Chain A
Amino acid sequence: EPEVTQTPSHQVTQMGQEVILRCVPISNHLYFYWYRQILGQKVEFLVSFYNNEISEKSEIFDDQFSVERPDGSNFTLKIRSTKLEDSAMYFCASKGEQGRNQPQHFGDGTRLSIL
């Protein structure tokens, strides 16, 4: 079964540095998402992306965050100047079809540790 893949599985970065998290969604999917999960807390929505633009973002997704689909296969999340509180698991998800009742398929996540 097709999968969403995320790299790296674990990223350790110094505070203030830029980090890019990478995702390869399922190949024919059109809708892309990033979520994060701080240790012990809920999974939280960050941003959704369709047709090369952000369709919705949460209040967490401030100016330090950006997303990009640089080519036909990758979907990236960039954090410009990382803070300690950015330490979390970051999940990428994709969805194939338009419609309210199509499930989102999630990757295994990238654990981001800010030192």
Chain B
Amino acid sequence: KQEVTQIPAALSVPEGENLVLNCSFTDSAIYNLQWFRQDPGKGLTSLLLIQSSQREQTSGRLNASLDKSSGRSTLYIAASQPGDSATYLCAVREANNLFFGTGTRLTVIP
């Protein structure tokens, strides 16, 4: 069964710093990998989706990479802002459903 792990579980950084969040998965037979943002008490906002044939995707200050063969993905956030504070989840898609990691809780300190 697919297992998705995210490290670290929590991260605090000062405003303006660049940071990397990590995601690993055990079964490389995935269709795609998605990064989500979850604010407290809120739903999941999709940030980036990387297809299994792609190596990276970029959106604004966010860059996600995928190394399918080694079962790893990273989410790079440039020039972090206090508004980036949230929990970041990665999820891999197999067949009809998504397997989620436990998330990284990011706090950006002004």
Contacts and interface: CB of A to CB of B under 8 A. Distances in A.
B21 interface: no
Contact of B93 (A6, A58, A100, A107): A100
Contacts, number: 56
Contacts of B66: none
Interface residues of B, number: 25
B91 interface: yes
Nearest to A48: B96
Interface of A: 4, 6, 33, 35, 41-45, 48, 55-56, 58, 91, 93, 100-101, 103-109, 111
A110 to B, nearest CB: 10
Interface of B: 4, 31-32, 34, 36, 41-46, 49, 51, 89, 91, 93, 95-103
The 7 A-B residue pairs whose C-beta atoms are closest, nearest first, are A45-B97, A100-B31, A108-B43, A56-B96, A106-B44, A43-B100, A48-B96
